[in-house]
Structure 1
Amino acid sequence: MSIQIGQPLPDVEVAVIEGASEIRRVRTASLFAGHRVVLFAVPGAFTPTCSDRHLPGYVKHFRDFREHGVEVMCLAVNDAYVMQAWAIAQQVPAGLKMLADGNAGFTRALGLEFDGSAYGMGLRARRFALYAEDGVVRQLHVEAPGEFRVSTAESMLQALQARETGAPAAAG
């Protein structure tokens, strides 16, 4: 069963990539504790939708999230070196953390994995975005297979703005 709104994020070790040279191992409990975070997941670094639309949307709107006091993190079931190379290739701004979940431990603990073996990809993260406060999920947007609508940067910004103003979020 996948994680639900109101539940704490699982505490698993991941590799965090910040900048061109820093890779460090961190427990997710400490990564999310005391922070407001949008975490979005992609099926794979360097894959078409992920590279052409998903990550670039968050890069483009990174400052908008920061203006709301929200950190942004990107998760993929890839090794840290692939995530680092992808961050460099995508010109990811300082402060947007790339999380490498090489063995899918965090992804499986979230219950948001899928088997991409039919595509030669093995176990991967489903495409999703969530908003967490102090490590507790407050919003969760999981894409239907083959879709790219509810986990976009624009969709998450709308959801955050609706949350802040108390207005209903756009359907997604």
Structure 2
Amino acid sequence: MSIIEAVEGDITTQRTDAIVNAANASLFGGGGVDGAIHAAAGAGLLEACRQVRHRSWPAGLPVGEAVATEGFDLPARWVIHTVGPNAHRGQTDPALLASCFTRSLDVAAELSAQSVAFPAVSAGAYGWAADDVARIAVQAVREHPKPGIELVRLVLFGPRLYQTFSAALSG
């Protein structure tokens, strides 16, 4: 049985086997979590993302899908990139958001990761309400079989997100 926990902090400092990047479809970095992860990982991450685009996803990573690269200068060995749905663009299907978490867990299991850290995918610039993201994320993680994964850490930037996810976990 996996431990699921919420912590307030910076995902780029997590000492887990894998961290999840709330990426954009290009995989080439951006703002928020995506920009912070690219900055902390160093130039190798951008080159690895270019290779992923060239080999597997030439049109960009679809919403709800996930793919892994090395972690480069991060404490985590792997970065699992997932593209959350953007509510501002009408992408409001909860199944798309849940897929970000379940597909990321699938990829983590394929990597034999025992621990994985997630941000609040789509709760920032993509316009989803934090309560909805917390509820959907916690349900998706709880219901996923998570083979080999011993720890799922929800890493929340700031007290508001932390409190929202903590409440969802206790419910």
TM-score when scaled to structure 2? 0.29
TM superposition score normalised by structure 1: 0.29
Higher share of residues assigned strand:
1
Q: Larger % of helix: which? A: 2
